[in-house]
Copies of this chain bind each other. A is one copy, B any other.
Amino acid sequence: MPVRDRLPAGRTHVPSAGGSRPPGGPSDRHHEILDAALELFATVGYGGTTMAQIGDRLGIRGPSLYKHIASKQELLVEIVTGMMTELLRRQQAALARGGDVSERLQRITAVHVQYHAEQRYEAFVGHREIDSLEEPHRTHILDLRREYESRFRELVQEGRELDVFRTASDRWSSYAILDMGIGVSAWYNPSGSVSPEQLADTYAELALRMLGAERDSANTREG
């Protein structure tokens, strides 16, 4: 039973300073919401996050979010799609630079690991919450992921056929590389002293060793 009847209610519309905003793109508010959602999804999970919590981060109520977004699910779709798209983009850029098989594998591994450190929240959510996606988004993301993974497998295969890599199974080796990189998003601490680049280089070297394509530069001590 409501106690107060229709008192002038709390904070109302107080638009931010820069009045005119380009009409097309996602507003500032949209981005703020996405950021808040990302951090919450990563730390307490999609199911564990409530709209009220997201609102809290911006100092507004849960229902007010719907003035800017369509649904909670939309937020997840944007996050996960953005993550997979960016990952594929970076991977393609890494491959486009050419080089021999070892170099290319070294590079896509480094890119993989660097992303999982740098954008650890996106990466973590992108892997963990795939099953929270409703169809057809889930299937779409899984397709992109398969494509991403297959690049690793193909490269391992190419290297093995050229006798550059020695590996018992292209598939297992590529999964191992992928999974060790994914793991980074679960433990990497950005306030530590180690940069995503350092970590990426070290992991890439580990990957090459795993594939029996050992080089010699992998012996610096931890920073």
Contact = CB atoms under 8 A, between A and B. Distances in A.
A137 to B, nearest CB: 16
B169 A202 contact: yes
Nearest to A201: B168
How many monomers of this protein are in the complex? 2
What is the interface residue range for chain A against chain B? 35 or more
Contacts of A212: 209, 214, 218
Contacts of A131: 44-45, 48
Contacts of A186: 179
B166 A219 contact: yes
Interface stretch (A2-10, A11-19, A170-178): A170-178
Given A131-B44, A179-B179, A168 B209 contact: no
A19 B168 CA distance: 52
Given A209-B209, A219-B168, A183 B173 contact: no
Nearest to A160: B221
B222 A170 contact: yes
Contacts of A220: 168
A199 B183 contact: no
A121 interface: no
Contacts of A177: 180
